[in-house]
Chains A and B, each alone.
Chain A
Protein backbone atom coordinates (compact mmCIF):
# COMPACT_ATOMS: atom_id res chain seq x y z
CA UNK A 1 0.00 0.00 0.00
CA UNK A 2 2.63 2.43 1.12
CA UNK A 3 4.84 1.40 -1.76
CA UNK A 4 2.06 1.88 -4.32
CA UNK A 5 1.41 5.32 -2.89
CA UNK A 6 5.03 6.19 -3.16
CA UNK A 7 5.26 5.20 -6.79
CA UNK A 8 2.09 7.12 -7.61
CA UNK A 9 3.38 10.22 -5.85
CA UNK A 10 6.74 10.05 -7.57
CA UNK A 11 4.89 9.90 -10.89
CA UNK A 12 3.01 13.03 -9.86
CA UNK A 13 6.28 14.74 -9.00
CA UNK A 14 7.91 13.90 -12.32
CA UNK A 15 4.76 14.92 -14.19
CA UNK A 16 4.98 18.26 -12.41
CA UNK A 17 8.63 18.58 -13.39
CA UNK A 18 7.59 17.98 -17.00
CA UNK A 19 4.84 20.56 -16.66
CA UNK A 20 7.23 23.27 -15.51
CA UNK A 21 10.03 22.42 -17.94
CA UNK A 22 8.29 21.43 -21.17
CA UNK A 23 6.94 24.89 -22.07
CA UNK A 24 10.37 26.43 -21.60
CA UNK A 25 12.13 23.71 -23.58
CA UNK A 26 9.64 24.09 -26.42
CA UNK A 27 10.22 27.81 -26.40
CA UNK A 28 13.99 27.36 -26.64
CA UNK A 29 13.61 24.81 -29.45
CA UNK A 30 11.25 27.08 -31.38
CA UNK A 31 14.02 29.66 -31.58
CA UNK A 32 15.85 27.33 -33.95
CA UNK A 33 12.98 27.12 -36.43
CA UNK A 34 13.84 28.23 -39.96
CA UNK A 35 10.57 30.03 -40.60
CA UNK A 36 8.84 33.21 -39.57
CA UNK A 37 5.84 31.36 -38.22
CA UNK A 38 5.68 29.98 -34.72
CA UNK A 39 4.31 26.47 -34.55
CA UNK A 40 5.01 22.81 -34.90
CA UNK A 41 6.21 20.77 -36.69
CA UNK A 42 9.65 22.23 -37.25
CA UNK A 43 10.90 21.09 -40.67
CA UNK A 44 14.16 22.97 -41.05
CA UNK A 45 16.48 24.48 -38.50
CA UNK A 46 18.59 27.59 -38.31
CA UNK A 47 20.81 29.48 -35.90
CA UNK A 48 19.99 32.82 -37.49
CA UNK A 49 17.49 33.92 -34.85
CA UNK A 50 20.00 33.43 -32.08
CA UNK A 51 22.93 34.97 -33.90
CA UNK A 52 20.75 37.88 -34.97
CA UNK A 53 19.48 38.78 -31.51
CA UNK A 54 21.86 41.64 -30.95
CA UNK A 55 21.53 43.08 -34.47
CA UNK A 56 18.45 44.94 -33.35
CA UNK A 57 19.95 47.73 -31.25
CA UNK A 58 16.84 47.87 -29.05
CA UNK A 59 17.62 44.47 -27.52
CA UNK A 60 21.08 45.09 -26.07
CA UNK A 61 20.07 48.54 -24.84
CA UNK A 62 16.94 47.14 -23.14
CA UNK A 63 19.12 44.45 -21.64
CA UNK A 64 21.67 46.89 -20.19
CA UNK A 65 18.84 49.16 -19.01
CA UNK A 66 17.22 46.27 -17.12
CA UNK A 67 20.48 45.23 -15.51
CA UNK A 68 21.32 48.78 -14.36
CA UNK A 69 17.82 49.19 -12.89
CA UNK A 70 18.05 45.83 -11.13
CA UNK A 71 21.43 46.63 -9.58
CA UNK A 72 20.43 50.10 -8.34
CA UNK A 73 17.10 48.89 -6.96
CA UNK A 74 18.81 45.98 -5.20
CA UNK A 75 21.36 48.21 -3.50
CA UNK A 76 18.58 50.37 -2.06
CA UNK A 77 16.40 47.43 -0.98
CA UNK A 78 19.27 45.62 0.70
CA UNK A 79 20.28 48.70 2.67
CA UNK A 80 16.75 49.51 3.80
CA UNK A 81 15.65 45.90 4.29
CA UNK A 82 18.62 45.08 6.48
CA UNK A 83 18.09 48.15 8.60
CA UNK A 84 14.43 47.28 9.13
CA UNK A 85 15.35 43.69 9.98
CA UNK A 86 17.87 44.83 12.60
CA UNK A 87 15.21 47.04 14.17
CA UNK A 88 12.49 44.38 14.22
CA UNK A 89 14.34 41.20 15.10
CA UNK A 90 14.57 40.27 18.76
CA UNK A 91 13.17 43.56 20.03
CA UNK A 92 9.85 44.18 21.68
CA UNK A 93 8.41 47.66 21.50
CA UNK A 94 5.16 49.46 21.03
CA UNK A 95 4.15 49.45 17.37
CA UNK A 96 6.44 46.62 16.35
CA UNK A 97 3.56 44.66 14.82
CA UNK A 98 2.44 47.75 12.92
CA UNK A 99 5.91 48.36 11.50
CA UNK A 100 6.22 44.70 10.59
CA UNK A 101 2.85 44.80 8.83
CA UNK A 102 3.81 47.91 6.89
CA UNK A 103 7.14 46.34 5.99
CA UNK A 104 5.55 43.36 4.25
CA UNK A 105 2.73 45.41 2.71
CA UNK A 106 4.38 45.98 -0.72
CA UNK A 107 4.83 42.23 -1.15
CA UNK A 108 1.13 41.58 -0.57
CA UNK A 109 -0.41 44.26 -2.77
CA UNK A 110 -1.47 42.67 -6.09
CA UNK A 111 0.83 43.65 -8.99
CA UNK A 112 -1.45 45.94 -10.96
CA UNK A 113 -2.60 47.83 -7.86
CA UNK A 114 0.94 48.35 -6.65
CA UNK A 115 1.94 49.62 -10.11
CA UNK A 116 -0.98 52.08 -10.15
CA UNK A 117 -0.23 53.30 -6.63
CA UNK A 118 3.44 53.83 -7.47
CA UNK A 119 2.48 55.65 -10.68
CA UNK A 120 0.24 58.06 -8.77
CA UNK A 121 2.76 58.55 -5.97
CA UNK A 122 5.62 59.14 -8.41
CA UNK A 123 3.52 61.80 -10.08
CA UNK A 124 2.79 63.40 -6.73
CA UNK A 125 6.48 63.40 -5.80
CA UNK A 126 7.33 64.84 -9.19
CA UNK A 127 9.34 61.83 -10.38
CA UNK A 128 9.04 61.57 -14.16
CA UNK A 129 8.34 58.12 -15.64
CA UNK A 130 11.66 56.53 -16.51
CA UNK A 131 14.65 54.95 -14.88
CA UNK A 132 14.44 56.76 -11.54
CA UNK A 133 10.78 55.87 -11.10
CA UNK A 134 11.33 52.20 -11.97
CA UNK A 135 14.33 51.90 -9.66
CA UNK A 136 12.35 53.44 -6.83
CA UNK A 137 9.29 51.19 -7.37
CA UNK A 138 11.41 48.04 -7.60
CA UNK A 139 13.37 49.03 -4.52
CA UNK A 140 10.24 49.55 -2.42
CA UNK A 141 8.66 46.36 -3.73
CA UNK A 142 11.73 44.28 -2.84
CA UNK A 143 12.36 45.62 0.68
CA UNK A 144 9.99 43.07 2.33
CA UNK A 145 11.89 40.12 0.87
CA UNK A 146 15.22 41.41 2.13
CA UNK A 147 13.78 42.20 5.55
CA UNK A 148 12.25 38.73 5.94
CA UNK A 149 15.37 36.85 4.81
CA UNK A 150 17.69 38.94 6.99
CA UNK A 151 15.36 38.62 10.00
CA UNK A 152 15.38 34.85 9.67
CA UNK A 153 19.17 34.79 9.67
CA UNK A 154 19.45 37.35 12.46
CA UNK A 155 17.25 35.25 14.74
CA UNK A 156 19.92 32.53 14.72
CA UNK A 157 22.77 34.84 15.77
CA UNK A 158 23.86 33.93 19.31
CA UNK A 159 23.31 36.98 21.52
CA UNK A 160 26.42 36.06 23.51
CA UNK A 161 28.66 37.10 20.63
CA UNK A 162 27.38 40.66 20.67
CA UNK A 163 27.60 40.74 24.45
CA UNK A 164 31.18 39.49 24.34
CA UNK A 165 32.11 42.20 21.85
CA UNK A 166 30.45 44.84 23.99
CA UNK A 167 32.25 43.54 27.09
CA UNK A 168 35.53 43.85 25.25
CA UNK A 169 34.80 47.53 24.64
CA UNK A 170 33.18 47.64 21.22
CA UNK A 171 30.52 50.31 20.83
CA UNK A 172 27.17 49.30 19.23
CA UNK A 173 28.24 50.43 15.75
CA UNK A 174 31.49 48.50 15.77
CA UNK A 175 29.81 45.48 17.31
CA UNK A 176 27.28 45.62 14.48
CA UNK A 177 29.87 46.04 11.75
CA UNK A 178 32.23 43.38 13.06
CA UNK A 179 29.88 40.75 14.46
CA UNK A 180 26.36 41.14 13.13
CA UNK A 181 27.10 42.21 9.57
CA UNK A 182 29.61 39.43 8.77
CA UNK A 183 27.12 36.95 10.20
CA UNK A 184 24.41 38.32 7.92
CA UNK A 185 26.49 38.15 4.73
CA UNK A 186 24.99 34.89 3.39
CA UNK A 187 21.45 36.17 3.94
CA UNK A 188 22.25 39.53 2.40
CA UNK A 189 23.84 37.93 -0.66
CA UNK A 190 20.95 35.54 -1.09
CA UNK A 191 18.44 38.35 -0.76
CA UNK A 192 20.39 40.52 -3.22
CA UNK A 193 20.34 37.85 -5.91
CA UNK A 194 16.65 37.32 -5.30
CA UNK A 195 16.02 41.06 -5.63
CA UNK A 196 18.14 41.31 -8.76
CA UNK A 197 16.07 38.60 -10.42
CA UNK A 198 12.74 40.00 -9.20
CA UNK A 199 13.65 43.40 -10.55
CA UNK A 200 15.10 42.09 -13.82
CA UNK A 201 11.98 39.99 -14.46
CA UNK A 202 9.43 42.53 -13.28
CA UNK A 203 6.96 43.60 -15.91
CA UNK A 204 4.01 45.41 -14.42
CA UNK A 205 5.88 48.11 -12.47
CA UNK A 206 8.38 48.69 -15.29
CA UNK A 207 5.49 48.96 -17.73
CA UNK A 208 3.54 51.57 -15.78
CA UNK A 209 6.48 53.61 -14.54
CA UNK A 210 8.64 53.40 -17.66
CA UNK A 211 9.36 56.25 -20.02
CA UNK A 212 10.31 55.77 -23.65
CA UNK A 213 13.05 53.22 -23.02
CA UNK A 214 11.70 49.71 -22.43
CA UNK A 215 13.19 47.23 -20.00
CA UNK A 216 13.72 43.76 -21.42
CA UNK A 217 10.37 42.28 -20.25
CA UNK A 218 8.55 45.37 -21.53
CA UNK A 219 10.34 45.06 -24.88
CA UNK A 220 9.41 41.37 -25.18
CA UNK A 221 5.82 42.24 -24.28
CA UNK A 222 5.69 44.96 -26.94
CA UNK A 223 7.12 42.60 -29.55
CA UNK A 224 4.63 39.89 -28.55
CA UNK A 225 1.71 42.23 -29.02
CA UNK A 226 2.76 42.85 -32.61
CA UNK A 227 3.01 39.12 -33.31
CA UNK A 228 4.91 36.00 -32.36
CA UNK A 229 8.21 35.34 -34.11
CA UNK A 230 11.22 33.09 -33.46
CA UNK A 231 13.19 36.28 -32.86
CA UNK A 232 11.28 36.69 -29.59
CA UNK A 233 12.10 33.09 -28.70
CA UNK A 234 15.78 33.84 -29.11
CA UNK A 235 15.59 36.98 -26.95
CA UNK A 236 13.49 35.23 -24.31
CA UNK A 237 15.84 32.24 -24.28
CA UNK A 238 18.84 34.42 -23.60
CA UNK A 239 16.99 36.15 -20.75
CA UNK A 240 15.90 32.73 -19.47
CA UNK A 241 19.37 31.19 -19.49
CA UNK A 242 20.84 34.21 -17.77
CA UNK A 243 18.26 34.39 -14.98
CA UNK A 244 18.17 30.64 -14.41
CA UNK A 245 21.97 30.46 -14.29
CA UNK A 246 22.17 33.30 -11.75
CA UNK A 247 19.40 31.67 -9.73
CA UNK A 248 21.10 28.28 -9.59
CA UNK A 249 24.48 29.78 -8.81
CA UNK A 250 23.00 31.89 -6.00
CA UNK A 251 21.18 28.90 -4.57
CA UNK A 252 24.37 26.86 -4.38
CA UNK A 253 26.42 29.77 -3.17
CA UNK A 254 24.14 30.69 -0.28
CA UNK A 255 23.82 27.05 0.71
CA UNK A 256 27.60 26.73 0.89
CA UNK A 257 27.89 29.93 2.92
CA UNK A 258 25.20 28.73 5.28
CA UNK A 259 26.98 25.44 5.79
CA UNK A 260 30.31 27.12 6.47
CA UNK A 261 29.11 29.37 9.22
Chain B
Protein backbone atom coordinates (compact mmCIF):
# COMPACT_ATOMS: atom_id res chain seq x y z
CA UNK B 1 0.00 0.00 0.00
CA UNK B 2 2.59 2.53 1.05
CA UNK B 3 4.82 1.45 -1.81
CA UNK B 4 2.06 2.21 -4.25
CA UNK B 5 1.66 5.69 -2.92
CA UNK B 6 5.37 6.43 -2.81
CA UNK B 7 6.07 7.30 -6.47
CA UNK B 8 3.03 9.55 -6.69
CA UNK B 9 3.98 11.60 -3.68
CA UNK B 10 7.26 12.27 -5.43
CA UNK B 11 9.53 10.17 -3.30
CA UNK B 12 11.12 9.07 -6.53
CA UNK B 13 11.55 5.95 -8.58
CA UNK B 14 13.30 2.67 -7.89
CA UNK B 15 16.71 3.82 -6.69
CA UNK B 16 15.48 5.75 -3.67
CA UNK B 17 13.03 3.00 -2.92
CA UNK B 18 15.92 0.58 -2.66
CA UNK B 19 17.78 3.00 -0.39
CA UNK B 20 14.60 3.19 1.62
CA UNK B 21 14.62 -0.54 2.11
CA UNK B 22 18.25 -0.65 3.09
CA UNK B 23 17.60 2.00 5.69
CA UNK B 24 14.89 -0.08 7.33
CA UNK B 25 16.93 -3.22 6.88
CA UNK B 26 19.92 -1.57 8.47
CA UNK B 27 17.84 -0.23 11.30
CA UNK B 28 16.32 -3.57 12.18
CA UNK B 29 19.71 -5.21 11.94
CA UNK B 30 21.41 -2.62 14.11
CA UNK B 31 22.37 -4.20 17.42
CA UNK B 32 21.40 -1.48 19.94
CA UNK B 33 18.05 -1.10 18.20
CA UNK B 34 17.40 -4.83 18.33
CA UNK B 35 18.34 -4.88 21.98
CA UNK B 36 15.88 -2.08 22.83
CA UNK B 37 13.11 -3.62 20.75
CA UNK B 38 13.79 -6.98 22.32
CA UNK B 39 13.37 -5.58 25.80
CA UNK B 40 10.41 -3.37 24.92
CA UNK B 41 8.41 -6.02 23.13
CA UNK B 42 9.33 -8.98 25.30
CA UNK B 43 5.69 -9.51 26.22
CA UNK B 44 2.42 -8.02 24.93
CA UNK B 45 1.85 -6.69 28.42
CA UNK B 46 5.11 -4.77 28.49
CA UNK B 47 4.50 -3.51 24.98
CA UNK B 48 1.12 -2.19 26.05
CA UNK B 49 2.48 -0.53 29.15
CA UNK B 50 5.12 1.32 27.13
CA UNK B 51 2.47 2.44 24.67
CA UNK B 52 0.05 3.52 27.41
CA UNK B 53 2.43 5.23 29.84
CA UNK B 54 2.93 8.49 27.97
CA UNK B 55 -0.72 9.15 27.02
CA UNK B 56 -1.84 8.33 30.54
CA UNK B 57 0.73 10.67 32.04
CA UNK B 58 -0.16 13.39 29.54
CA UNK B 59 -3.92 13.35 30.06
CA UNK B 60 -3.56 13.22 33.81
CA UNK B 61 -1.03 16.04 34.14
CA UNK B 62 -2.01 18.23 31.19
CA UNK B 63 -5.72 17.70 30.68
CA UNK B 64 -6.93 16.96 34.19
CA UNK B 65 -4.15 18.78 36.05
CA UNK B 66 -5.20 22.37 35.23
CA UNK B 67 -8.80 21.68 36.22
CA UNK B 68 -7.79 20.06 39.52
CA UNK B 69 -5.37 22.85 40.28
CA UNK B 70 -8.12 25.39 39.63
CA UNK B 71 -10.37 23.47 42.01
CA UNK B 72 -7.67 23.39 44.68
CA UNK B 73 -6.92 27.10 44.38
CA UNK B 74 -10.63 27.88 44.70
CA UNK B 75 -10.50 26.52 48.26
CA UNK B 76 -7.55 28.66 49.36
CA UNK B 77 -7.34 32.23 50.60
CA UNK B 78 -4.21 33.34 48.76
CA UNK B 79 -2.89 32.58 45.30
CA UNK B 80 -0.32 33.16 43.93
CA UNK B 81 1.19 32.86 47.39
CA UNK B 82 3.37 35.81 48.27
CA UNK B 83 6.57 35.08 50.21
CA UNK B 84 5.98 35.07 53.95
CA UNK B 85 2.26 34.50 53.61
CA UNK B 86 0.64 31.25 54.63
CA UNK B 87 -2.04 29.66 52.54
CA UNK B 88 -5.17 28.44 54.31
CA UNK B 89 -8.10 26.32 53.38
CA UNK B 90 -11.29 28.35 53.10
CA UNK B 91 -14.79 28.25 51.69
CA UNK B 92 -15.03 32.05 51.54
CA UNK B 93 -14.63 32.18 47.76
CA UNK B 94 -17.76 30.12 47.29
CA UNK B 95 -19.56 31.97 50.08
CA UNK B 96 -18.78 35.19 48.26
CA UNK B 97 -20.71 34.02 45.21
CA UNK B 98 -23.71 32.73 47.12
CA UNK B 99 -23.73 35.65 49.54
CA UNK B 100 -23.84 38.47 47.03
CA UNK B 101 -26.65 38.59 44.54
CA UNK B 102 -24.80 41.02 42.23
CA UNK B 103 -22.89 37.95 41.05
CA UNK B 104 -26.06 35.95 40.43
CA UNK B 105 -27.28 38.25 37.74
CA UNK B 106 -24.37 37.74 35.29
CA UNK B 107 -24.33 34.07 36.21
CA UNK B 108 -27.96 33.39 35.34
CA UNK B 109 -27.72 35.76 32.40
CA UNK B 110 -24.92 33.68 30.96
CA UNK B 111 -26.87 30.45 31.31
CA UNK B 112 -30.04 32.01 29.89
CA UNK B 113 -28.23 33.68 26.99
CA UNK B 114 -26.32 30.52 26.17
CA UNK B 115 -29.56 28.48 26.13
CA UNK B 116 -31.42 31.02 24.00
CA UNK B 117 -28.54 31.44 21.56
CA UNK B 118 -28.14 27.67 21.29
CA UNK B 119 -31.81 27.34 20.45
CA UNK B 120 -31.56 30.13 17.85
CA UNK B 121 -28.56 28.43 16.28
CA UNK B 122 -30.48 25.16 16.10
CA UNK B 123 -33.51 26.77 14.45
CA UNK B 124 -31.32 28.63 12.01
CA UNK B 125 -29.06 25.76 10.95
CA UNK B 126 -31.48 22.82 10.90
CA UNK B 127 -33.12 23.80 7.59
CA UNK B 128 -29.71 24.47 6.09
CA UNK B 129 -28.39 21.07 7.16
CA UNK B 130 -31.63 19.45 6.01
CA UNK B 131 -31.38 21.06 2.60
CA UNK B 132 -27.74 20.02 2.19
CA UNK B 133 -28.29 16.44 3.26
CA UNK B 134 -31.60 15.86 1.48
CA UNK B 135 -31.96 18.01 -1.57
CA UNK B 136 -28.46 18.31 -2.96
CA UNK B 137 -26.59 15.77 -5.05
CA UNK B 138 -23.58 14.08 -3.46
CA UNK B 139 -21.10 15.98 -5.57
CA UNK B 140 -22.55 19.40 -4.84
CA UNK B 141 -23.02 18.61 -1.16
CA UNK B 142 -19.31 18.82 -0.48
CA UNK B 143 -18.90 22.04 -2.44
CA UNK B 144 -21.87 23.70 -0.81
CA UNK B 145 -20.72 22.62 2.63
CA UNK B 146 -17.22 23.89 1.91
CA UNK B 147 -18.70 27.25 0.94
CA UNK B 148 -20.16 27.51 4.43
CA UNK B 149 -16.92 26.38 6.06
CA UNK B 150 -14.82 29.18 4.58
CA UNK B 151 -16.00 31.96 6.93
CA UNK B 152 -15.50 29.65 9.88
CA UNK B 153 -11.79 29.44 9.26
CA UNK B 154 -11.68 33.12 10.22
CA UNK B 155 -10.95 33.88 13.86
CA UNK B 156 -13.29 34.87 16.65
CA UNK B 157 -12.07 38.47 16.94
CA UNK B 158 -12.20 39.20 13.22
CA UNK B 159 -15.73 37.84 12.92
CA UNK B 160 -16.87 39.75 16.00
CA UNK B 161 -15.50 42.91 14.43
CA UNK B 162 -17.39 42.15 11.22
CA UNK B 163 -20.62 42.02 13.24
CA UNK B 164 -19.75 45.38 14.83
CA UNK B 165 -19.55 46.92 11.38
CA UNK B 166 -22.79 45.27 10.32
CA UNK B 167 -24.83 46.45 13.30
CA UNK B 168 -23.34 49.84 14.22
CA UNK B 169 -25.36 53.06 14.14
CA UNK B 170 -23.83 53.85 10.76
CA UNK B 171 -23.62 50.15 9.98
CA UNK B 172 -24.91 48.34 6.95
CA UNK B 173 -28.25 47.25 8.43
CA UNK B 174 -29.17 50.72 9.68
CA UNK B 175 -28.12 52.35 6.41
CA UNK B 176 -30.17 49.86 4.45
CA UNK B 177 -33.27 50.45 6.59
CA UNK B 178 -32.79 54.22 6.25
CA UNK B 179 -32.40 53.91 2.50
CA UNK B 180 -35.62 51.94 2.37
CA UNK B 181 -37.18 54.78 4.43
CA UNK B 182 -38.28 52.33 7.10
CA UNK B 183 -36.59 54.33 9.85
CA UNK B 184 -35.51 57.96 10.38
CA UNK B 185 -33.12 57.42 13.18
CA UNK B 186 -30.67 54.49 13.45
CA UNK B 187 -31.81 51.65 15.69
CA UNK B 188 -29.24 51.13 18.46
CA UNK B 189 -28.49 47.47 17.83
CA UNK B 190 -25.01 47.56 19.29
CA UNK B 191 -24.11 46.88 22.95
CA UNK B 192 -27.36 45.01 23.56
CA UNK B 193 -28.22 41.38 24.03
CA UNK B 194 -29.34 41.40 20.40
CA UNK B 195 -25.92 42.31 18.99
CA UNK B 196 -24.33 39.79 21.34
CA UNK B 197 -26.74 37.12 20.16
CA UNK B 198 -26.06 37.82 16.50
CA UNK B 199 -22.34 37.63 17.19
CA UNK B 200 -22.46 34.40 19.17
CA UNK B 201 -24.80 32.65 16.75
CA UNK B 202 -22.49 33.76 13.95
CA UNK B 203 -19.52 32.24 15.77
CA UNK B 204 -21.13 28.95 16.75
CA UNK B 205 -23.34 28.09 13.76
CA UNK B 206 -20.80 25.67 12.31
CA UNK B 207 -20.60 23.57 15.47
CA UNK B 208 -24.33 23.02 15.18
CA UNK B 209 -24.41 22.59 11.43
CA UNK B 210 -21.87 19.76 11.21
CA UNK B 211 -23.45 17.34 13.75
CA UNK B 212 -26.90 18.03 12.26
CA UNK B 213 -25.63 17.47 8.76
CA UNK B 214 -23.95 14.18 9.60
CA UNK B 215 -27.07 12.93 11.44
CA UNK B 216 -29.34 13.88 8.54
CA UNK B 217 -26.96 12.46 6.00
CA UNK B 218 -26.89 9.07 7.72
CA UNK B 219 -30.68 8.84 7.69
CA UNK B 220 -31.78 6.59 4.78
CA UNK B 221 -34.09 8.36 2.36
CA UNK B 222 -36.16 5.19 2.08
CA UNK B 223 -37.60 5.80 5.58
CA UNK B 224 -39.19 8.97 4.39
CA UNK B 225 -40.43 7.34 1.21
CA UNK B 226 -41.96 4.50 3.18
CA UNK B 227 -43.75 6.99 5.42
CA UNK B 228 -44.98 8.86 2.37
CA UNK B 229 -46.27 5.62 0.83
CA UNK B 230 -48.19 4.98 4.01
CA UNK B 231 -49.87 8.32 3.55
CA UNK B 232 -47.99 10.56 5.97
CA UNK B 233 -47.98 14.25 5.07
CA UNK B 234 -44.72 16.17 4.77
CA UNK B 235 -45.11 17.66 8.24
CA UNK B 236 -45.96 14.31 9.81
CA UNK B 237 -42.98 12.71 8.07
CA UNK B 238 -40.71 15.36 9.48
CA UNK B 239 -42.20 15.17 12.97
CA UNK B 240 -42.47 11.39 13.22
CA UNK B 241 -39.50 10.19 11.16
CA UNK B 242 -36.81 12.78 10.49
CA UNK B 243 -36.84 14.67 13.77
CA UNK B 244 -36.77 11.65 16.13
CA UNK B 245 -33.99 10.01 14.14
CA UNK B 246 -31.82 13.10 14.18
CA UNK B 247 -32.21 13.76 17.91
CA UNK B 248 -28.70 12.50 18.48
CA UNK B 249 -27.24 15.12 16.16
CA UNK B 250 -29.40 17.80 17.77
CA UNK B 251 -28.27 16.71 21.20
CA UNK B 252 -24.55 16.78 20.43
CA UNK B 253 -24.78 20.02 18.44
CA UNK B 254 -26.66 21.78 21.23
CA UNK B 255 -24.26 20.53 23.90
CA UNK B 256 -21.27 21.73 21.95
CA UNK B 257 -22.76 25.13 21.14
CA UNK B 258 -23.97 25.65 24.70
CA UNK B 259 -20.55 24.91 26.18
CA UNK B 260 -18.81 27.11 23.64
CA UNK B 261 -21.15 30.04 24.11
CA UNK B 262 -20.83 30.04 27.89
CA UNK B 263 -17.08 30.40 27.43
CA UNK B 264 -16.95 33.46 25.18
CA UNK B 265 -15.10 36.40 26.61
CA UNK B 266 -14.06 38.75 23.81
CA UNK B 267 -17.40 38.72 21.98
CA UNK B 268 -19.49 39.90 24.99
CA UNK B 269 -16.84 42.51 25.78
CA UNK B 270 -16.92 43.91 22.25
CA UNK B 271 -20.59 43.42 21.32
CA UNK B 272 -22.29 43.65 24.69
CA UNK B 273 -22.88 46.59 26.97
CA UNK B 274 -23.11 47.27 30.70
CA UNK B 275 -26.57 45.70 30.80
CA UNK B 276 -25.34 42.43 29.28
CA UNK B 277 -22.30 41.63 31.43
CA UNK B 278 -21.76 37.87 31.32
CA UNK B 279 -20.09 35.68 33.91
CA UNK B 280 -16.97 35.30 31.78
CA UNK B 281 -16.34 39.02 32.24
CA UNK B 282 -16.93 38.72 36.00
CA UNK B 283 -14.40 35.88 36.22
CA UNK B 284 -11.86 37.70 34.05
CA UNK B 285 -12.20 40.75 36.30
CA UNK B 286 -10.64 38.84 39.18
CA UNK B 287 -7.60 38.12 37.07
CA UNK B 288 -7.12 41.52 35.51
CA UNK B 289 -8.44 44.46 37.42
CA UNK B 290 -8.59 43.25 40.98
CA UNK B 291 -5.11 41.76 41.13
CA UNK B 292 -4.84 39.29 43.98
CA UNK B 293 -8.23 37.67 43.75
CA UNK B 294 -7.32 34.57 41.83
CA UNK B 295 -8.89 32.15 44.33
CA UNK B 296 -12.25 33.90 43.98
CA UNK B 297 -11.91 33.80 40.20
CA UNK B 298 -11.06 30.10 40.40
CA UNK B 299 -14.12 29.44 42.58
CA UNK B 300 -16.38 31.33 40.20
CA UNK B 301 -14.96 29.48 37.20
CA UNK B 302 -15.54 26.17 39.01
CA UNK B 303 -19.15 27.13 39.78
CA UNK B 304 -19.75 28.02 36.15
CA UNK B 305 -18.12 24.84 34.85
CA UNK B 306 -20.20 22.69 37.19
CA UNK B 307 -23.39 24.52 36.23
CA UNK B 308 -22.66 24.12 32.51
CA UNK B 309 -21.79 20.43 32.91
CA UNK B 310 -24.88 19.69 35.00
CA UNK B 311 -27.16 21.53 32.58
CA UNK B 312 -25.78 19.76 29.52
CA UNK B 313 -25.90 16.45 31.40
CA UNK B 314 -29.57 16.93 32.23
CA UNK B 315 -30.23 18.01 28.65
CA UNK B 316 -28.56 14.90 27.23
CA UNK B 317 -30.48 12.65 29.63
CA UNK B 318 -33.68 14.31 28.49
CA UNK B 319 -32.84 13.82 24.83
CA UNK B 320 -31.92 10.19 25.46
CA UNK B 321 -35.21 9.46 27.17
CA UNK B 322 -37.01 11.22 24.30
CA UNK B 323 -35.22 8.95 21.86
CA UNK B 324 -36.02 5.83 23.83
CA UNK B 325 -39.62 6.93 24.30
CA UNK B 326 -40.00 7.30 20.59
CA UNK B 327 -38.79 3.81 19.87
CA UNK B 328 -41.55 2.23 21.94
Contacts and interface: CB of A to CB of B under 8 A. Distances in A.
B37 interface: yes
A64 interface: no
B158 interface: yes
B232 interface: no
Interface string A89-116: 0000100000100110110111111111
A26 B165 CA distance: 7
Interface string A222-261: 0011001000110010011001101110010001000011
Given A12-B128, A84-B58, A171 B156 contact: no
Given A83-B55, A99-B56, A140-B62, A183 B155 contact: no
A260 B41 CA distance: 34
B171 A102 contact: no
Interface stretch (B97-105, B242-250, B296-304): B296-304
B259 A108 contact: yes
B230 interface: no
A57 B234 CA distance: 60
Interface string B129-161: 011101100000010101111111111111101
Q: Chain A interface residue count: which class?
A: 35 or more
Nearest to B288: A208
Given A109-B263, A109-B305, A171-B37, A220 B2 contact: no
B315 to A, nearest CB: 14
Contacts of B91: none
Interface string B258-272: 011011111001100
Q: Is the interface of B mostly helix, strand, loop or mixed?
A: helix
Nearest to A9: B131
Given A24-B154, A118-B66, A13 B144 contact: yes
Interface centre among B2, B51, B259, B287 (most CB of A within 10 A): B2
A16 interface: yes
Contact of A117 (B2, B24, B70): B70
Interface in A12-38: 12-13, 16-17, 19-24, 26-27, 30, 37-38
Nearest to B206: A20
A1 to B, nearest CB: 6
A143 B130 CA distance: 31
B47 to A, nearest CB: 6
A197 interface: yes
B327 interface: no
Given A23-B159, A228-B168, A244-B150, 19 more contacts: A13-B144, A26-B162, A38-B170, A83-B55, A84-B55, A88-B55, A99-B56, A102-B63, A111-B280, A117-B66, A123-B80, A161-B1, A171-B37, A178-B24, A217-B155, A221-B270, A224-B164, A233-B165, A246-B153
20 contacts: A2-B234, A17-B147, A20-B202, A26-B162, A39-B168, A39-B170, A105-B67, A108-B259, A109-B67, A110-B280, A110-B304, A110-B305, A113-B305, A117-B67, A120-B73, A120-B79, A140-B62, A174-B28, A182-B2, A204-B263
